[in-house]
Structures are given as structure tokens and as C-alpha cells.
Structure 1
Amino acid sequence: MRSRSLLFGLAITTLLVGAGVSVAQEDPDIDCGNATTQFELNYCANREYEAADKVLNATYKMVMAHMVGVDKAMAGSDPSLVGAADALKKAQRAWIGYRDGQCVLSGFSARGGSMEPMLVSGCLADLTTRRTAELKDVLEAY
């Protein structure tokens, strides 16, 4: 599963680099608030996804730390109740597979065109932002 996600990440990077989007460095000359060319739109969509992914990763780490704490607390009273951290990990891995497949599908409406990376990155940003909200809801439930 992990290798599929890695391969998808490499494929997205290849698409973005192939479309002229540098994923390794920021271009200070691009104003994403006023992006007009497809290159700029692709770049800005990828930058939005990268920002959303950073927030998701930080949120996931917080939720995971909490779930590990829940498991430790439960282990003292009833070891059969342990498993919150594993459940979170399993859910996150399944979500990554869904996100990756859904966003490749999203790009198919412009398959092979210069707009495809923007559609894929936009989908990645949107679903990643939604997942972050879901993870925050998990924390609030406790």
C-alpha cells in the first residue's frame, strides 16, 4: 500500500514537473492571488496542496499522540479495549488510497492536457483539507 502511495506521489511530481511546475522551490514571482497562465495556476494549485498536506500531517501527529494516550489509559483498565492508534493508522492508510485514486480520476477530464496537474492538485488540496477537519473532529470527540 505504501509503495502505491509513493508511486502515486512520484507520478504527480512527474506530471507537475512535466507541466513546468517546480515542486522543489517556490517562485517568488508568481502571485497566486492573481494567477492567470496555466503554468501559474498549476503552480499555485500544487502550492495549495502542499500547504494543506503540512496541516494534515501536523494534525495527524496530534491525533495519533492522543490515540496512543487513549490506548495507554485503556490498557490499564482493560487490555482488550486497546487499538485506537491502530484504527487511526488503518483509517489514514485507507483514506490515502481513496484520495490518490479520486484525484487521478479528477484529472481525467483534462487527461494529457496542461490543465491536468491543476485539477489533480486542486482535488488533493480539497480532500486533504476535508480530512484535516475529520481528524480534528476525532480530537473533539474526546
Structure 2
Amino acid sequence: MSHSQKIKTGLSGLSIIAGAVAWISPVQAQENVPTPKAMAEFRVCLAKAKPGTECGQPVYDACQAAHDQPDTTLSITECTMTTHKAWDIILNERYRAVIAASPPNLKLKLQKAQRAWIVSRDADCAAVYEAYIDGTIRGPLYAGCMVEKTSERVRWLKDMGEE
């Protein structure tokens, strides 16, 4: 097989793999957004939270209650990703606030750090997904990774903004 044939075969294989991943990726399972009530409870919890407090539970519970098939692997993945969406909303709000309050040199460093963090988070969670590719647990584990990494980053940004 020539070098160009190997490349074409490799690209065909990659597109098949990419298509399969896109088809089963928990991120694309459903574009749920937190309900306004659950998001309000989430915000109240975050405002009062002590370290280690799990504030995402109201978002997750509201999603499960509204789901047509609660407590299934699919709903667990979807509702965990809905919880991730809630954390992501807060992350973006805190990021914008920290950037707005930062001097120019710090802004540039924070922007670079945020871009690198996104790449790292996505790679870490993709590795979790890949590690469990043969099992249905991969979706919930991937979603849980996204929640964990994003909530950690929210706390980091909160600390940055309190200086």
C-alpha cells in the first residue's frame, strides 16, 4: 500500500470513528438546559456554599423529574450534562467578571490560561470516555468528569476574583 493510500485509508477510518463518537457522545445526547427554578436554587446554594457542598443536585433532580425515562443510563448522562451546563453558565459569568476587573497584563494571562484549561478539561474527559468505550458507564463518567472539572474551575475563578 502506498503512502497516499495509507493516508486515505487512515482518514476514512478517522471519519468513521469521528462519526461514531459524534453519534454516541453524551455531550450531544440532548441539549438540556437547567430549569429557571433549578438554576435559581443552584445560585442560592453557590452563594452560601462551604467547601465540599454539592450545589448541582437541584439541577440534576429537576432534570430527572422531567425526564420521560428517569434513572436510566441515558437520563443519568443527560441530567449530569444539564448539571454541567449550570456550572458552565456560572463559569462564564465568573470568567467575564474576573476578566473585567483585571489589569491588561493579567487579562492576557487569564485568557491564555482559560483556553489551555478548556483543552485540558476536554482531553481529560475524552480520555475517561475512551477508557470505558466498551461500556454504558462511559456516558455518565464522561458527564461526571465535565461537572467535576468545570466546578473546580468555577472555584478557581472565584478565588482569583477575591484577591
Q: Same fold (TM over 0.5)?
A: yes
Alignment of 1:5-84 (within 5 A): 15-16=25-26, 21-23=29-31, 30-31=64-65, 35-67=70-102, 70-71=103-104, 83-84=105-106
Contact between 1:107 and 1:119, CA under 8 Å: does it hold in 2? Answer: yes
SS of match in other structure, 2:64: coil
User: Residue 63 of structure 2 contacts residue 82 of structure 2 at CA under 8 Å; is this kept in 1?
Assistant: no
Residues in 1 aligned to 2:117 and 2:86: alpha-carbon distance in whole angstroms: 18
- Give SS of 2:136's match: coil
Asked if structure 2 preserves the Cα contact closer than 8 Å seen for 1:53 and 1:128, the reply is: yes
Instruction: State the identity %.
Output: 27
Q: Name the aligned partner's letter for residue 115 of structure 2.
A: R
Cα RMSD over matched residues? 2.7
User: 1:94 aligned to 116, 122, 130, which one?
Assistant: 116
Deviation at 1:38, TM superposition (A): 0.8
2-structure distance, mates of 1:128, 1:66: 21
Can you give the 5+ residue segments of structure 2 that lack an aligned partner in the other structure?
1-20, 36-61
Gaps of 5+ in 1: 1-10, 72-82
TM-score, scaled to structure 2: 0.60
State which of 133, 140, 161 in structure 2 corresponds to 1:118.
Answer: 140
Written as runs of structure 1 = structure 2, the 5 A alignment for 1:104-115 is 104-115=126-137
SS class of match (1:63): helix
Query: In the superposition, relative to structure 1, how do residues 26 and 57 fare at CA in structure 2: closer, same or farther (>3 Å)?
Result: closer
